[in-house]
């Protein structure tokens, strides 16, 4: 084995992964898999250089590599990121006409989706904060569904609370369009955060307003599962049946919720971060930054927002190693800093204490969204077998949970 350096370039600063041990006879395809495990760039998006030249596409490309030499890696969509930023600037340029600005925003959203699906932001975590801010602005700029949001919320919450009054304000930040719904009933106000599903509002749906915005049932299931195990807020799934069916996620405000970066208790901070990271591995959920995770008044973990990535496989074959040794969690910020500083022993202790509290994962079935699935079928929604396969998703979740529990026996 030879200890080499993998240098990730293209970010604000290069990232060095030192002491990566590889066999100099490693096959080309296996080398790319190893680089993906380190940088999180999928093999087809890797651009590799060795000794100043493109890495040759041969069976064994690094036979003569020496200890301490570098393989330079960058994501092939770096130019798409730069184009995305330019499109965002153009969309915000008030000197341009509204049609041109709208077109730029739509193209920026399309670029964003391509970048997100390619693992770009997992590799370049220092771009995440800029991306979240700008994509939220683009989504709100082209949002044609504000009326649909409000009509759906009014219909849904009026039925739930017949004598209530309902008001709205736009939700700021985040990568999806959304509103904050205030329901006032018997003099008491309750907030609900209502948003689209992760892939709703894509360039395709924006250009084809008559098409249905199909919900990803795995995202629906993940929200209900977190509620089921006491980690997520109370969740509902309203829909709008105007000119098109648009389905939403509405979560009830967690009372006395404190975001991670507002917690003063260092021990509690560590517990929140480690538990959230472990659940991100078990459920395959993303975007658990310091604004989306925190603590309840009972000093328990609460995850109020996340998304489920568009992939067919959520199984973590080396989940214990990933949990103990990796710290790729969220973007740059408090959550990532805390996880990086916590040692293996403390991580393991927090996990051992937390896992029994989530034991309902072992017995849960897809029936927890059975009513919602029936309602969707009544609306004429036909579910696919790729992005909407809840049963396979649930099987992967259970295998992940069983694997990490077995490691502590």
Strands (E), 186-289: 188-196, 235-236, 239-241, 245-252, 258-259
| Residues in contact with 409: Cβ distance below 8 Å, sequence separation at least 6, in sequence order | none
Distance CA 48, CA 54 (A): 6
Q: Which of 46, 62, 60 is nearest to 9 (CA)?
A: 46
For 200-227, how does the pLDDT look when each residue is reduced to its tens digit (9 = 90+)?
544 334 333 334 456 778 999 999 999 9
User: What integer pLDDT is reported at residue 403 of this predicted model?
Assistant: 95
For 390-401, how does the pLDDT look when each residue is reduced to its tens digit (9 = 90+)?
999 999 999 999
For 317-366, how does the pLDDT look when each residue is reduced to its tens digit (9 = 90+)?
899 999 988 877 766 678 888 888 998 889 999 999 999 999 999 999 99
User: What integer pLDDT is reported at residue 150 of this predicted model?
Assistant: 83
Determine contact, residues 224/235, Cβ cutoff 8 Å: yes
Helix, strand, or coil here: 249? strand
For 238-254, how does the pLDDT look when each residue is reduced to its tens digit (9 = 90+)?
876 654 566 789 999 99
User: What integer pLDDT is reported at residue 181 of this predicted model?
Assistant: 93
Mean pLDDT by 10 residues, the chain (409 residues): 92 90 92 92 94 92 92 95 95 87 88 89 89 80 69 87 88 66 92 78 39 73 96 89 69 93 93 96 90 93 90 89 81 80 91 96 95 80 63 95 92
Sign of torsion over alpha carbons 277, 280, 282, 284: negative
Find where tokens 């993303």 sit: 286
Determine contact, residues 136/172, Cβ cutoff 8 Å: yes
Distance CA 185, CA 138 (A): 34
Cα 199 to Cα 125, 365, 377, distances in angstroms: 21, 24, 20
User: What integer pLDDT is reported at residue 206 of this predicted model?
Assistant: 38
User: What integer pLDDT is reported at residue 98 of this predicted model?
Assistant: 80
């Amino acid at each position: 084995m030879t200890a080499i350096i993998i240098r990730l370039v293209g970010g604000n600063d290069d990232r060095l992964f030192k002491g990566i041990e590889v066999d100099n006879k490693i096959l080309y395809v296996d080398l790319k898999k190893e680089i993906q495990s380190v940088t999180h760039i999928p093999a087809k998006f890797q651009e590799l250089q060795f000794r100043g030249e493109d890495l040759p596409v041969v069976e064994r490309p690094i036979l003569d590599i020496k200890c301490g030499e570098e393989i330079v890696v960058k994501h092939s969509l770096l130019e798409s990121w730069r184009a995305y930023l330019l499109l965002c600037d153009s969309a915000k340029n008030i000197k341009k006409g509204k049609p041109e600005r709208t077109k730029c925003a739509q193209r920026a959203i399309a670029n964003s989706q391509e970048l997100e699906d390619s693992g770009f932001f997992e590799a370049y975590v220092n771009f995440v904060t800029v991306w979240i801010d700008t994509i939220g602005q683009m989504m709100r700029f082209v949002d044609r569904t504000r009326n649909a949001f409000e009509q759906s919320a009014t219909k849904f919450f009026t039925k739930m609370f017949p004598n209530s009054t309902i008001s709205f304000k736009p939700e700021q930040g985040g990568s999806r369009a959304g509103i904050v719904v205030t329901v006032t009933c018997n003099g008491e106000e309750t907030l609900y955060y209502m948003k689209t599903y992760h892939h709703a509002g894509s360039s395709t749906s924006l250009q084809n307003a008559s098409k249905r915005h199909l919900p990803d049932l795995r995202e629906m299931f993940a929200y209900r599962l977190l509620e089921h195990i006491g980690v997520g807020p109370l969740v509902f799934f309203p829909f709008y049946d105007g000119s098109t069916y648009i389905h939403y996620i509405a979560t009830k405000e967690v009372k006395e919720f404190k975001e991670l970066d507002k917690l003063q208790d260092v021990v509690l901070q560590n517990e929140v971060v480690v538990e959230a990271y472990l659940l991100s591995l078990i459920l395959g959920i993303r975007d658990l930054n310091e604004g989306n995770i925190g603590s309840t008044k009972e000093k328990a973990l609460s995850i109020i927002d996340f998304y489920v990535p568009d992939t067919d496989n959520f199984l973590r074959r080396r989940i214990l190693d990933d949990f103990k040794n990796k710290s790729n969690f969220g973007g740059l910020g408090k959550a990532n800093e805390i996880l990086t500083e916590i040692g293996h022993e403390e991580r393991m202790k927090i996990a051992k204490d937390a896992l029994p509290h989530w034991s309902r994962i072992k017995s849960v079935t897809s029936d927890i969204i059975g009513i919602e699935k029936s309602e969707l079928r009544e609306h004429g929604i036909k579910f696919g077998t790729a992005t909407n396969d809840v049963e396979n998703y649930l099987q992967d979740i259970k295998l992940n949970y069983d694997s990490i529990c077995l490691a502590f026996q």
